[in-house]
Amino acid sequence: MRFIETLLITDKIENLGYHNKRMNKTRKKFFNAKELDLKDFIKVIPNKRVRVVYDEKIQKVEYFNLQKREFKKLKVVKNDSIEYDYKYEDRSQLNSLKVDGYDEIIIVKNGLITDTTISNLAFLYKNEWLTPKTPLLPGTKREELIDKKLLKTSDIELGDLKKFSKFAMLNAIVGFYEIPINAIEL
């Protein structure tokens, strides 16, 4: 079983501490491995997306040009059996949920909004950003924003969507990408 970390390099490796924490927690659970520091394996090449594949050891480090993506149309998909609580290299279970004609999907599990296939979510309610209390995968950008008190965790049901004015996709690469709430199709 292999896992991945996807990191952003600007002029430095962004959110390195959060990525190290998640990677080492995964390696400890599955391999009882000693901690590693990703900075020892990643070259700082500005404006790149880095994909680190690992198991007990770092297996591969790949660098990609950043590509701007737009998300204008998202579909809600319900799936109560989906599991993705570690950042597995094998994403086939997530990818099987995608729906043609949509830029991304929003996954609802056991009646609660969780994530998209590539990001955590946040929803604007009045002047407060709420993020699902039970994401499929607690992302590094999400953890950073919770720690900075910019996001508050909350159970978010499908019916709650009507009370939000906008939402955001968040991950290491897109950052905090705001989208009008009407981009979501039920």
**In the chain, count of helices (H) and strands (E)?**
3, 12
- 60 — pLDDT class (breaks 50, 70, 90): very high
Fold classification of 3-65 is D-amino Acid Aminotransferase; Chain A, domain 1 (3.30.470)
Residue 186 has pLDDT above 90, yes or no: no
CATH code of 74-185, in short, is 3.20.10.10
Same CATH topology for 3-65 and 74-185? Answer: no
Q: Where are the domains of the chain?
A: 3-65, 74-185
Q: Express each pLDDT in 6-46 by its tens digit.
A: 999 999 999 999 999 999 999 999 999 999 999 999 999 99
> What's the pTM value of the predicted model, to 2 decimals?
0.94
